[in-house]
A and B are shown apart, each in its own frame.
Chain A
Amino acid sequence: MREQSMVPEPEFESYYGRQILKTPTWKTPDVPLYLFLGGMAGGSALLAEGAALSYRPDLERVARLAAAGGAAAGTVALVHDLGRPERFLNMLRVLKPTSPLSVGSFILAPFSALSGAAALSNLTGRLPRLGRLAGAGAAVFAGPLATYTAALVGNTAVPAWHEAYRELPFVFAGSGATAAGGLAMVFTPVAQAGPARRMAVGGAALEIAAAEVLLTRVGMVAEPYQQGRPGRLMRTARALTAVAAGATALAGHRSRTVSVLSGAACVTASVLTRFGVFEAGIASARDPKYVVVPQRERLRQRQAAEAH
C-alpha cells in the first residue's frame, strides 16, 4: 500500500528538529470520539424524522435514542476534555462566528435538549406532539452538528487539518451518515431499515470519495493520512466502509445477520475514520517538515510571481 512516499524526503532547516507548532492538547479518545458521536447523532436525528413521517415506528425509536444518546455522550466527552470542566458553561458566555467551538456549542446545546426531549417522549408516549416538534427541531440542527466539527479542526494551524478544510466537512458528513445508518441497521428489523441501509450506503460513497479528493489535493500534507498509525486507521476505515456498504447493498434487505454485521462494520469504520483524521492532524503538528516545506514553497511561488 502507500506506506512509503515515492518522493525523496525534502530538505529543510529547523531548530534542532524541534516542532514549530504546539501539539493539540485535545485528549484522545475524548475528542475523536466526540467527532464520531456528533456525526452519528446528526445522521440519526434525520433518520428519526424520516421514520416518523413515513411511519416506521421501530426505526424511529432506534434513531431517536441514537440521536439523544450520541449527543449526551458527546457532551460528556467534550466537558471531560476541558482543562477546567467545572467551567463548561463559559462556552455559552459569548457567541463567536470566528470560533467553530463556540458556534458548535450553540449547535450541540439545543440539539441535545431537543433530541433528548424527542427520545423521552417517544419512550414514554407522553406529549407526543411536543415530542415530534422537538424531533423536528433536532433535525434542523442535525446537518450542522455532523459537519461543524470539520471547521473545528480545520480552523487551526495544524497542516493536515487546515489544508483539508474543503474536504473534511464532506468526509464527516459521509462518515456521520454511515454511522447513523449502520447503527439503525443493527437494532431495527430489516423490513423497516430500508432508509437506514440507503443512508449508510450513500454516506459510505460520500466519505470514500471525499477522502480520496482530500488525499490528491493537499499535496505533501496528505502524508500523515497515509503513513504510520493514522495511515493504517484511514486505510482500515476505507476498506471496512467499502465492504460494509457493499454487503448492505447486496444482502442487507434479505438477511438480519448481514444487516447487523454490516451495520456494526459501518459504525466501526466511522469511528476509525475520526481517529484517523484526528491522529493525522496530531502527527502533522509534531513534524516541523509539514510547516516549513509548504510555507517555503508558498514563499518561493510568491517571489517567483513578484519577479515577473
Chain B
Amino acid sequence: MTNSLWGRLDDVAGDAGYDDHPPRMGFFTDTSVCIGCKACEVACKEWNQVPDDGYLLTGMSYDNTGALGASTWRHVAFVEKSLDVSTVDLGLPAMGPPEGQGQATESGDNGIRWLMSSDVCKHCTHAACLDVCPTGALFRTEFGTVVVQPDVCNGCGYCVPACPYGVIDQRKEDGRVFKCTLCYDRLKDGETPACAQACPTESIQYGEVSELRQRAANRVHELHEKGVDVARLYGADPDDGVGGDGAFFLLLDEPEVYGLPPDPVVTTRDLGSMWRHVGAAAATLVGIGVASFVGRRR
C-alpha cells in the first residue's frame, strides 16, 4: 500500500494489481508548437464517437469549445491577451520568444499574444475520480491510464467534484460520466491515440511516460537556451500533488491562464485524517446519546 493514495509511485499499474504489464503510456503536450487547429478535438470525436457538445459561440476567443467535459475529451484553449494590459508577472516584452520562434505572436496593429494548448484528461498517478468511484466503474488499465466502464457506471457523479482538474463530467441526457480513455482500444492494438495521430505539429506526443518526461525536460531546456524563459512543465513532476500526470504539458504562462489549477493535490492525500475525524465525530454523537439518558430521570 506504499504511496497508493498519495506521493511518488513509480509503478502505477503494478500498484493497481497488474503483475505483468506494458510500460505506462501517456501524452506530452508541447503547447509551444500548438497552432490551435483543433484537429485533435475532431479526431477524438470521430474515433470515440463522442456526441456533439453544442454549437454555441462563446464570443470570447476562437475557443468555442469552452472546457473539457463529458462530450469534450480534448479541448484547445485559446488565450488571447492584449499586450497593452498589465502583464507584470511575465515581464513582457523583454521575455517574449524571439521573432519567428514559438507561437506567441505580436500582430503589428494592436499587440495580441496568443497562447494555444490542447487540454486533456491528465490520467493522474493518484486519480481522485478512480479512488472515489463507489462501483468500480473507473479503473486503472494495464497502461497506467484511467478509464470509465460505461456498462458499470451508475451515474452517482462522485468523480465529478473529485477531479482537481475539472475533467470528468456527466452527460445529463445519458446519466453516466465520460472522459478521455487515452484511446484504450487503440492502445490495445499498439496504435497511437487519435488526437496524437491527427496532430500536424507534434504538439501532442504519445509514448512511454518515462521517455516523454525525458523529452519534455530536453524541450524545456532547449527553449530556455533560446531565451523563452516562460516555458515550464506542468504535471511532469512525479513528486507533485497527484504523483505526476500521465498526460503532462509544456506551458508558456502560469497554469491558471490556461484554466489549469496551479497546484492540484489529490483529495485522498487527506483520506486517513478524514476517516479519523469522522470516527471521532461518530463517537461524539454516541457520547451525546448516552449522556442524554444518564443523570436526570425526566
* A interface, over-half SS: helix
**Shortest Cβ distance from B158 into A: residue:** A101
Cβ–Cβ < 8 Å partners of A18 in chain B:
66-67, 259
Task: Out of B89, B160, B177, B278, name the residue touching A148 (CB < 8 Å).
Answer: B278
Question: Smallest distance from the beta carbon of A199 to chain B beta carbons, Å?
Answer: 4
The reply to whether the CB of B76 lies closer than 8 angstroms to some CB of chain A is no
* Any A CB within 8 A of the CB of B165: yes
CA distance A274 to B162 in the complex (A): 20
Nearest A residue (CB) for B4: A98
Interface residues of A in 112-156 (CB under 8 A from B): 142-144, 146-148, 150-152, 154-156
**A22-B161, A82-B175, A157-B161 given; A142·B262 CB < 8 A:** no
B134, B153, B275: the one contacting A96 at CB < 8 Å is: B134
Name the one of A83, A85, A93, A152 contacting B136, with C-beta atoms under 8 angstroms: A93
Chain B contributes a number of interface residues (CB within 8 A of A) equal to 75
B-chain residues with CB within 8 Å of residue A21 when the two chains form the complex: 161, 163-164, 166
Q: Mark B142-168, 1 if CB is under 8 A from A, else 0.
A: 000000000011111110111111111
B157 touches A26 (CB 8 A): yes
A174 to B282, CA, bound (A): 10
Residues of A within 8 A of B270 (CB): 154-155, 162, 165
Number of interface residues of A (CB under 8 A): 85
Assembly CA distance A194 to B268 (angstroms): 42
Query: Is the pair A169, B281 in contact by a Cβ cutoff of 8 Å?
Result: yes
Residue of A94, A99, A156, A206 with highest tally of chain B CB at under 10 A: A99
Contact of A16 among B60, B136, B156, B161 (CB under 8 A): B60
Task: List A contacts of B256 (CB < 8 A).
Answer: 12-15, 20, 288, 292, 296
Given A50-B289, A202-B292, A155:B278 Cβ within 8 A? no
Complex Cα distance, B259 from A166, in Å, reads 29
Nearest-neighbour CB distance to chain A for B35, whole angstroms, equals 19
> 11 new A-B pairs (CB below 8 Å) besides A21-B161, A83-B156, A143-B282?
A26-B157, A49-B289, A82-B175, A87-B135, A94-B135, A98-B268, A146-B282, A157-B164, A162-B270, A173-B282, A292-B256
Q: List 29 A-B contacts (CB under 8 A).
A: A15-B77, A18-B259, A20-B261, A25-B157, A46-B286, A50-B290, A83-B177, A87-B154, A93-B136, A93-B152, A94-B134, A96-B133, A143-B282, A144-B278, A147-B281, A151-B275, A156-B162, A157-B128, A157-B163, A158-B161, A166-B273, A170-B281, A194-B298, A199-B292, A202-B292, A206-B288, A285-B161, A296-B263, A299-B263
